[in-house]
């Protein structure tokens, strides 16, 4: 076994990199085909979720495999190799098995213990089988991972520690309220009709929302999901609309959940602002929220606060802090206000703050340095990370529209943070929140299960590795018996058939008894760590032809492929 994993996840890379590296379905298929075309790989599978992209392969050379898989991952993700490399992790052989089993159990998920990953692993296996890129190793590995994940959920309380991203996201939107209390009577808009969107719609219906509107590019799928929700017995009204009705539905919705496969934004900040404005009847702009200075309270800005000299001097047009007589302008405590701005604009503002009169700022050098650092961050990472440390709109009770973005790359413009009355929870904020989530006591039990299963899988694979050698040995022994019986027939042509059969059976029993102990023992030894050398020793001791051993392996692979094809065409037949 030479299993290699190259990937990146929410644990190794920022969300901004993950969303840029996200692979669409057709890109995943092309990646798998290119991996098999590369020299080091014999099998390949891709596990791509909203917070991980991992490439699994059976390789014959470690270093060449790492280089090739990393290069192909960069090419197909569209992120340059030099930029992607610092975020990649590599696992090999038993460590690779341990990693996938941990992933299957939810130990490596953003929300520990969530069970959706099992469906995603199943989809990854089905995709590689459909494309014929998975052979014996990856078939065995992924099927065993599914069994390990199910075992962890059935034998431990890991479900108590984990929940789906949908549930966790809704809890973040609900704040200190129970989700059922927060959701009761609300109108919900669900954009997308895939597995994650369907789960979101069902969860909202069970939580007690009054209405769920499903929008999808394929209207038939939206109708099917709406029918399922309406027949669910929750009392929730459900209906379907085409995607071009999303803007209109935003004016009515209290909460919107989006999870599509779109490569661009589904909800722009301007569209969300327009939806909120239509509801309130007042114009809403995507501006920078005012940030009170220490020891002051927020108040509407006055003409004195935002005089023409201050507005003209500040390149961003940011208003004061609401304190009469002071035009402090922008404070770095509100760095979420500049989410999405480019480095050049930030540098302009840093210079303005640095040169501003002392009356305009409390600590000009600190502020200018921090904004310069933000400019460097956006130049490296693509955008400014939003600051979510300030009190949420949920806590202040001013939410007009709650948004949950579960897509990767993101569906909802991060700039909606700057719209008064809008609260956004996305993959990035979920990652931050889950970092502080308590671990369940059962997590240690799951880790023990994973360790046991990794050892068992490794032993089974090592034992399977020696099987062609054992089969070749027994084949050679059978040939020896057949040749000796043929020579006996030549010397004793008149030997009665009864006596000949008895002699043949006796010789076969002798050979079987002589081979029984060494073949059983070599299988036991081969299943232990470092046992791969016993196959070589067996081939050397009995002078087995390597071509014969290879022929047995090829025959096994042909039979395996035949069984897989049969299982795909015959639903009543299981996979080998």
Distance (Å, whole) CA 45 – CA 133: 7
Catalytic residue annotation: 50
Distance (Å, whole) CA 230 – CA 526: 57
Distance (Å, whole) CA 357 – CA 311: 14
Q: What is the DSSP letter of 20?
A: H
In 107-234, alpha helices (H): 116-130, 136-155, 158-161, 165-174, 179-183, 195-207, 219-230
Cβ-count burial of 292 within 10 angstroms (0-12 exposed, 13-18 middle, 19+ buried)? middle
End-to-end CA distance of the chain: 18
HEC profile for 216-280?
ECCHHHHHHHHHHHHCCCCCCEEEEEEHHHHHHHHCCCCEEEECCCCCCCCECHHHHHHHHHHHH
C-beta separation of 13 from 87 below 8 A: yes
Instruction: Select from 419, 150, 85 the least CA-distant residue to 279.
Output: 419
SS3 content of the chain, % helix, strand, coil (to 5): 55, 10, 30
HEC profile for 422-469?
EEEECHHHHHHHHCCCCCCCHHHHHHHHHHHHHHHHHHHHHHHHHHHH
Beta-strand relationship, 237-242 and 89-92: unpaired
Distance (Å, whole) CA 455 – CA 97: 9
């Amino acid at each position: 076994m030479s299993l290699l994993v190259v990937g990146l996840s929410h644990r190794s890379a920022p969300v901004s990199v993950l969303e840029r590296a996200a692979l669409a379905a057709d890109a995943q298929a092309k990646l798998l085909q290119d991996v098999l075309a590369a020299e080091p790989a014999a099998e390949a599978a891709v596990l791509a979720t909203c917070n991980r992209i991992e490439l699994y392969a059976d390789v014959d050379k470690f270093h060449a495999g790492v280089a090739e898989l990393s290069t192909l991952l960069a090419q197909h993700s569209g992120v340059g190799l030099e930029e992607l490399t610092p975020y990649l992790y590599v696992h090999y052989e038993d460590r690779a098995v341990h990693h996938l089993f941990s992933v299957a159990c939810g130990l490596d998920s953003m929300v520990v213990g969530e069970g959706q990953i099992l469906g995603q692993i199943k989809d990854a296996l089905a995709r590689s089988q459909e494309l014929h890129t998975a052979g014996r190793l990856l078939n065995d590995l992924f099927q065993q991972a599914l069994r390990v994940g199910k075992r962890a959920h059935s034998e431990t309380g890991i479900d108590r520690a984990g929940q789906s991203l949908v549930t966790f996201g809704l809890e973040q939107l609900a704040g200190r309220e129970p989700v059922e209390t927060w959701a009761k009577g609300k109108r919900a808009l669900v954009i997308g009709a895939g597995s994650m969107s369907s789960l979101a719609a069902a969860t909202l219906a069970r939580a007690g929302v009054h209405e769920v509107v499903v929008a999808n590019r394929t209207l038939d799928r939206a109708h099917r999901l709406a029918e399922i929700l309406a027949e669910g017995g929750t009392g929730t009204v459900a209906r379907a609309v085409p995607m071009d009705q999303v803007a209109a539905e935003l004016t009515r919705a209290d909460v919107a959940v989006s999870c599509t496969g779109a490569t661009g934004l589904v909800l722009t900040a301007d569209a969300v602002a327009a939806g909120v404005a239509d509801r309130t009847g007042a114009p809403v702009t995507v501006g920078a929220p005012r940030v009170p200075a220490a020891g002051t309270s927020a108040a509407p800005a006055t003409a004195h606060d935002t005089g023409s000299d201050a507005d003209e001097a500040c390149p961003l047009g940011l208003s004061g802090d609401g304190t009469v007589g002071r035009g402090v302008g922008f404070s770095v405590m509100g760095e979420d206000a500049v989410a999405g701005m480019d480095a050049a604009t930030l540098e302009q503002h840093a210079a303005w703050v640095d040169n501003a009169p002392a009356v305009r700022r409390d600590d000009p050098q600190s502020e200018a340095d921090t904004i310069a650092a933000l400019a460097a961050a956006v130049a490296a990472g693509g955008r400014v990370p939003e600051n979510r440390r300030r009190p949420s709109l949920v806590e202040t009770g001013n939410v007009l529209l709650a948004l949950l973005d579960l897509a990767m790359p993101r569906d909802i413009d991060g700039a909606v943070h700057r719209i008064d009355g809008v609260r956004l929870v996305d993959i990035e904020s979920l990652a931050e929140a889950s970092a502080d989530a308590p671990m369940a006591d059962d997590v240690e039990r799951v880790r023990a299960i994973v360790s046991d299963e990794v050892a068992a899988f490794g032993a089974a694979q090592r034992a399977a590795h020696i099987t062609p050698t054992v089969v070749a040995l027994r084949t050679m022994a059978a040939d020896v018996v057949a040749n000796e019986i043929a020579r006996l027939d030549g010397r004793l042509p008149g030997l009665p058939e009864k006596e000949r059969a008895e002699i043949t059976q006796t010789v076969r029993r002798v050979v079987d008894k002589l081979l029984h102990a060494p073949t059983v023992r070599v299988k036991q030894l081969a299943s232990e760590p470092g046992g791969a050398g016993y196959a070589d020793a067996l081939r050397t001791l009995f002078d087995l032809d390597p071509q014969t051993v290879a022929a047995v392996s090829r025959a096994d692979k042909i039979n395996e492929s035949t069984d897989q094809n049969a299982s795909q065409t015959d639903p009543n037949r299981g996979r080998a």
